Chain A
């Protein structure tokens, strides 16, 4: 496998990436409206509340849509094509775009998988059997 450029954790994203290294998924839960959100940012995009709590989620969900990428737009992914990126609606709420093992269908149930790279861990999904 190629080694893509690693993420650069910052104030907003640090807890997300640190948790993935421990094979856990955490998202911000809004203290105002109780929604979970992704990507991590400093205010809730539904109610503008700044306070939130990092909350574990199980990473299970359903595929809303996906694309099968055939053209490697970056050399780091040349050995990976074709590969699937799915937009997954997590059971806990947020939508998140993740690499998916295999071509899903609309509504396909998926579970999380943690893929180790040099220095960081990627969250992917695998269709349920």
Chain B
């Protein structure tokens, strides 16, 4: 089995209205990732992406527009924020076993000017019971989990505020971020309710844009422009009865633990590290509560101590400002930031220690995670 690394990342600007087709955004980000890595795009032999409903373009369209000479590997996942780490894991498996050499993984959408996922109706058999009664938007589902989680762990909306404030501090330092006005706890407390316990400041901002990663063998990555971000382990987990659709959560018993609780042991064991070794955490944060739940689920702190950890600043978390601050690229940008941190390219946001970075994708019943490490 060959070792695998992420060799480069690419972004378009994140905007309120790109005025451009999604395919153009996808191609720009994909080419930017190739340029970042210093790899000829003609050498790409795999493309993977994910979409919700009809909000993106298939991998084959990007291969076509990038004049790919041919593909050996393609994946189009009908998944939302659970997908990015999973896609990198699938690409890594293909590369490790010799079924692909260089894979582009991307997310592209006009998520602000086009269809908004926050209020989208997901196909599936659970929706017909939610949509007619006004239980029809993703923030509501996660709010329901967050409410129970805060209750059982003895945390409060000020702990959500701690996440929002800490993330904003990083976002202010991030040119790519769409929300860069400073925020303190008083500002969080004054932010209008969306769906309790969430205020506007607890919610991600939907944006137009694209983000891509270039995944290849560690051996090849060592010859490219950037330091390799080694894929030490990737894992996906869902528990029993993960639901009939993206928003169907009534078959899950415990709203205080998300998929990170299930994925933790396998992820760290396969990466050969422990939670104590983690230098930076880039955690999917469509809403602030998911950071608390995921810090606890990954074992980066005790249950109920996540808000305290965030306030302490002892562990750099979401150094790009999170999806809360940088914008909602459905977590592909979360993984890209993990790559930048491992590579030591975080600029003013760079963590001093960056040997081991954990990233997650997903919020509730199911999701994926990744451990990236520095080379050698």
Contact = CB atoms under 8 A, between A and B. Distances in A.
Contacts of A85: 133-135, 140, 144
B65 interface: no
Interface string B285-315: 0000000000000000000000000000000
Interface centre among A69, A83, A124 (most CB of B within 10 A): A69
Interface in B133-167: 133-137, 139-140, 143-145, 147-148, 151
Contacts of B128: 7-8, 10, 13, 39
B132 A5 contact: yes
B255 A65 contact: yes
Nearest to A123: B133
Contacts of B143: 67
Q: How large is the interface on B (under 10, 10 to 19, 20 to 34, 35 or more residues)?
A: 35 or more
B196 A97 contact: no
B195 A97 contact: no
Interface of A: 4-8, 10, 12-13, 37-39, 41, 45-46, 64-71, 73-74, 76-77, 80, 82-83, 85, 87, 94-99, 106, 117, 120, 122, 124
A65 B146 CA distance: 9
Nearest to A98: B133
Given A5-B131, A5-B132, A87-B144, A69 B250 contact: no
B125 interface: yes
Contacts of A117: 132
B13 interface: no
Contact of A41 (B134, B244, B250): B244
Given A12-B125, A70-B193, A95-B250, A4 B147 contact: no
A120 B144 contact: no
B148 A67 contact: no
B119 A74 contact: yes
Given A68-B195, A71-B195, A85-B140, A120 B132 contact: yes
Given A69-B134, A73-B136, A64 B126 contact: no
Given A7-B132, A87-B144, A94 B196 contact: no
A76 B376 CA distance: 58
A99 B131 contact: no
Contacts of B119: 73-74
> 8 closest pairs, A vs B, by CB?
A65-B148, A67-B143, A73-B137, A70-B193, A68-B196, A73-B119, A77-B134, A85-B135
B43 interface: no
B78 interface: no
Given A69-B140, A117-B132, 17 more contacts: A4-B132, A4-B133, A5-B132, A13-B129, A39-B125, A45-B241, A67-B196, A67-B197, A73-B118, A80-B134, A83-B134, A85-B134, A85-B135, A85-B140, A95-B251, A97-B129, A97-B130
A8 B127 CA distance: 11
Nearest to A68: B196
Contact of A64 (B129, B194, B255): B255
